[in-house]
Amino acid sequence: MSTPVAVVTGASSGIGAATARQLASLGFDVLCAARRLERVEALAGEIGGRAIGVDITSPDDVARLAQAAGPRVAILVNNAGGALGQEPLAQADLDAWETMWRTNVLGTARVTKALLPALTAAQGVVVFVTSTAADSGYEGGAGYCGAKAAERAMVESMRLELFDQPVRVTEICPGMVHTSEFALTRFHGDQARADAVYAGVPDPLSADDVADAIVWMATRPAHVNVDRLTIRPRAQAAQHKVFRATVG
């Protein structure tokens, strides 16, 4: 029997890289996909997986991804995406909004559509990594919250559309996760603003915490579907209510 294939997008860092490592440790043939080829090549070499440079907004790149994945895909982790900016609507950078929609929404849809025949053939599972930002808006979050809410709409629609097919459609919604790049990318390299997101918060989630949950969801028995799982640090009671210890 051939080794089951798992595809992880956005695998060059953070949650994607942590998920790829954990899936490889369970014996999956992990196809690590990201724009930064040198990063995923290093990761693939570390875990015994395969690397492919993919921009999920490119139809040609996604076609290459589907070809590399092969005719049967046991797990697809739609992790590529991210946030850009946190300005109020009145000052919104709409170019950044378009980028968030091209990646989180259209890119994710493109990858899922391309790999769906292989997922069906393998009776596989797709895990969409959305966010608690999909639950409701917050100040400065209209662009990102809207993109993640649209991604959630894909999840809900697909599950209904595929109710009679052997494919599981799942969603994980992380809250505050401290990774090396998410906030830094959001604030265009401003380290001080990125650090302020987590200042005083005791034990925000790590990428490994979220990867643990993703792998658990993806490896349930074939008849078990984890529709949606919200995961937050204990210090984050809700999107807007976060405990911060006094600093200094």
**Cβ atoms 78, 112 nearer than 8 A:** yes
User: What is the set of active-site residues?
Assistant: 144
Rounded CA gap, 224 and 235, in Å? 30
